[in-house]
Structure 1
Amino acid sequence: MPLNIVSLVSVGRHPQSGRSRRAEQDGRAVEMGLKLAGQQLSVVHVGNPDEPVLRQYAGMGLSSLTVLKQADRFDAVPVLQRYLEQKNIDIVLTGVRSESGESSGMVPYLLAHALGWPVVARVADIVCVEKGEAQVLLALPRGQRRAVRVALPFIASLDLAAPPARQSAFGVGLRAKIETIESIGEVDQIRVDWQEAEAKPRAKRLKTVKAKTAAERFKAATAKPQGDAGKVLINETTQQKAQAIFDLLLEEKVIR
């Protein structure tokens, strides 16, 4: 019996240019779904069906893609919950977090809580599925892997250690059918009051400690600061002391 697998995709954003693109982790979720289910894979997006980035996912070899149409101010979890409850889903594949919007990484967990399913995070590979269970490899630090068995159905978030997404073909993506489903969304009351702005570069640290082990990092964090080539200002005026601090900040490039 073929597996019923759904890959959830979002609109990514290039880290340098800021342009919309196929999200790196979501692309790996589609790649994993194609490996397990082939052309039976269902790819679902919540948002605007006219988004050009969706054609990049379709260009991976998909004949169709489903869009649950709703505005950005609505919460994606309730509409996904209603959609998945109507289908006999075995596995839902997602990225760890999106590259735009809130990027909180909470969608797999909120969706699993709403459906009452287990969630498996940081998946590197799904080796096989048999007898209602999936053998999953989890990505651990330093290239290590951990094998676990998970009962169907479940939600898996794909790590960057998962196989990379194949190249997207423009012609295939252009010919794919975008199936739009009108949905009744729920306004995300918390996000309505948010104001988004570009991130500013962080101020440079006055001292950078290069520690290779946890013990060295702990020692550096708890050690008393030792001044080197510093000045002790006691009898100087307030203006002279302020000028000395200002010169130090300029020297360390904390301010410009």
Structure 2
Amino acid sequence: MPPNSSLQSLEIVSLISIGKHPQSGRERRAEQDARAVELGLAVSQGNLTVLHVGNAQQNALRHYAGMGLSEIHVLEAPTHADAMAPLTDYLHENTPHIILTGVRAENGESSGMVPYLLAEKLGWPMVSRIANIVSIKDGIAEVLQALPRGQRRVINVALPFIASVDSAAPEARQSAFGPASRATLSVQTCAIEKDDVAENWTETPARKRPKRLKIIKAKTAAERFKAATAKPQGESGKVMVKESDQEKAKAIFNLLLEEKVIR
């Protein structure tokens, strides 16, 4: 990023969660949250606050600290607590310019709704799946958003804002043992609302949805080979830019009905 005098006073908060290794199931730093920390370190010029809601004794927090952090802020909370209330209170008291998160957590609900709920409560704009923050000038950030099939889109958004960091963002640096052991965990107790509903849930590993098989009607061997090696194309996709909010909402609702997500 080119040097900019406005970056000297820029305050960025990166929200982190405890990840889970897909094979061993061991706790680790969440990959997308680590990318959010990496992006925050690159943009903030050292003025980065890393925030976690949960148990301060979890070893995975040290994996984030090993990225070169001197301090991690922890809002102490039990496992099944609702993190939205303490997060909102903290961000109201310590208002940053940018909040970075991963797209979704690797544990718990993994719904990816945290940045959207925070944006609603704070009244800030929300930018999803960014790959980089290109520049910040006069209170406007130029953000590079990741799109499907490697495409990118430049978006201008006014500060303050919330952004989820995509896997297309720069990969997080390795965690070093020395900085991880020297970092300070600043623990803050706060009022926590108990989530009685989540305590009664039974969690199971998420599974990928099966892909629909395309029926091949080819008769000859050459036609079957061509159909098998043809590049899949999304025929039902549609980019809606100038349409009204009602038309966009109706298109999303119809898609959910077609995919049988809702009935």
TM over 0.5: yes
Instruction: Look up the SS of the partner of 2:149 in the other structure.
Output: helix
Q: Show structure 2 runs of 5+ residues with no match.
A: 1-7, 215-227, 238-263
Matched with 1:16 is 23
Deviations 1:101-152 (A, max 9, x none): 1100000001111111111001010011111111000001111110011001
Q: Counterpart of 2:167?
A: 160
Residue identity matched to 2:9:
P
Q: Residue 66 of structure 1: CA displacement? A: 0.3
Describe the shift of the 1:109–1:199 C-alpha distance in structure 2 as closer, same or farther (beyond 3 A): closer
Distance 1:106 1:61 in 2: 28
Q: Residue in 2 aligned with 1:65?
A: 72
1:51-70 per-position Cα deviation (integer Å, ceiling 9, x unaligned): 10000100000011100001
User: How many equivalent pairs are there?
Assistant: 215
Query: What CA distance in whole angstroms lies between the structure 2 residues aligned with 1:216 and 1:83?
Result: 43
Who is 2:213 aligned against?
A: 208
Give TM-score, length-normalised by structure 1.
0.79
Indicate yes or no: 2:112 matched with 1:105: yes
Deviation at 1:16, TM superposition (A): 1.4
Q: For each residue in 1:76-118, what CA deviation from the matched residue of structure 2 results, as whole angstroms up to 9, or x when unmatched?
A: 1111000010013100000000001110000000111111111
State the partner residue of 2:92: 85
RMSD: 2.1
Q: Give the aligned partner of residue 186 of structure 1.
A: 193
**Secondary structure of 1:112's aligned partner:** helix
Identity of aligned residues (%): 53
- CA offsets per residue over residues 206-248 of structure 1, 9 Å max, x none? x83367123499xxxxxxxxxxxxxxxxxxxxxxxxxxxxxxx
Say if 1:110 and 1:216 are closer, same or farther in 2 by CA, change over 3 A.
closer
Match of 2:203 in 1: 196
CA distance in 1, matches of 2:191, 2:58: 19
| SS of equivalent to 1:187 | coil
2:37 maps to amino acid: V
Partner of residue 42 from structure 2, selected from 35, 38, 45: 35
Q: Output the TM-score relative to the length of structure 2.
A: 0.77
